[in-house]
Amino acid sequence: MSQAQRRALGIRPNAQGKYPAPTQPTFCRLLQRLDARKVEEVIVAIQNQVRGPAPKEHLIVFDGKQPKHGGGASVLSAVTVPSQHYLGSALVDQKTNEIPVARELFKRLELEGRLVSLDALHTQDETARALVLEHGADYLLTVKGNQPTVRQQIEKLLTAAQLVFFPSAANVYSG
């Protein structure tokens, strides 16, 4: 990098007035000055140019992850499955949880006519209402064993067809 490029990055000059090679704190300062939404828009635009748009028939999955050195904050991201198109993400501050952040992220994405899946934390009336009524999406609900009331209500309202299937018999070849 030239001295002018190093100066533009915000590198501090040394005692001789020269700008040394950038270090990790330099890149941290640089990244803090960037508009995260603009960076996301550029990443999605490049992805669309290289790969084309995310297939409309692919499932959109929202999932949160906590970076190892994230200071308690986590990131909620939306990707398509199985194509793995990145659609967007949002920072989840340690003072809140993913639920309100997901609802804000919905507003930035094109969800009309798409199937959306979130983990069991998001099995909430308001989340379902926002996805279906406000954004026109179909919502794949996740229910875990630690949500007994929700599970009982589902079992009461929806009766699954009884299948006669024995997994151990599936491996037997009768030809």
Buried b (16+ CB within 10 A) or exposed e, 72-110: eebbbbbbbeeeebebbbbebeeeeebeebbbebbeebe
**Whole-angstrom distance, CA of residue 139 vs CA of residue 124:** 11
Helix (H) and strand (E) counts in the chain: 6, 5
Quick one: 129 and 96 in the same domain? Answer: yes
Nearest to 40 by CA among 118, 105, 92: 105
Question: Could you report the per-residue pLDDT of 84-140, keeping only the tens digit for each?
Answer: 999 999 999 888 889 999 999 999 999 999 999 998 888 888 999 999 999 999 998
pLDDT at 56: 94
Quick one: 31 and 58 in the same domain? Answer: no
DSSP-assigned beta bridge partners for residue 115: 138
Distance separating the N- and C-terminal Cα atoms of the chain: 69
- Tell me the three state secondary structure of residue 126: helix
Quick one: 83 and 137 in the same domain? Answer: yes
pLDDT at 131: 95
Q: How many domains does the chain have?
A: 2
Which domain, by its residues, includes 148? 54-158
Quick one: 44 and 29 in the same domain? Answer: yes
pLDDT classification of 163: cutoffs 50, 70, 90: low
Find the CATH number of the domain harbouring 139.
3.30.420.10
| Amino acid at site 125 | D
pLDDT classification of 175: cutoffs 50, 70, 90: very low
pLDDT classification of 170: cutoffs 50, 70, 90: low
Quick one: 24 and 103 in the same domain? Answer: no
Does residue 141 contact residue 129 with C-beta atoms inside 8 Å? no
Determine the distance from the C-alpha atom of residue 39 to the mean position of all C-alpha atoms in its chain, rounded to a whole number.
15
Determine the distance from the C-alpha atom of residue 72 to the mean position of all C-alpha atoms in its chain, rounded to a whole number.
17
pLDDT at 29: 81
Quick one: 64 and 87 in the same domain? Answer: yes
Quick one: 16 and 86 in the same domain? Answer: no
Quick one: 58 and 34 in the same domain? Answer: no
Quick one: 66 and 134 in the same domain? Answer: yes
Question: Could you report the per-residue pLDDT of 35-94, keeping only the tens digit for each?
Answer: 989 999 999 999 999 999 999 999 999 999 988 776 777 999 999 999 999 999 999 988
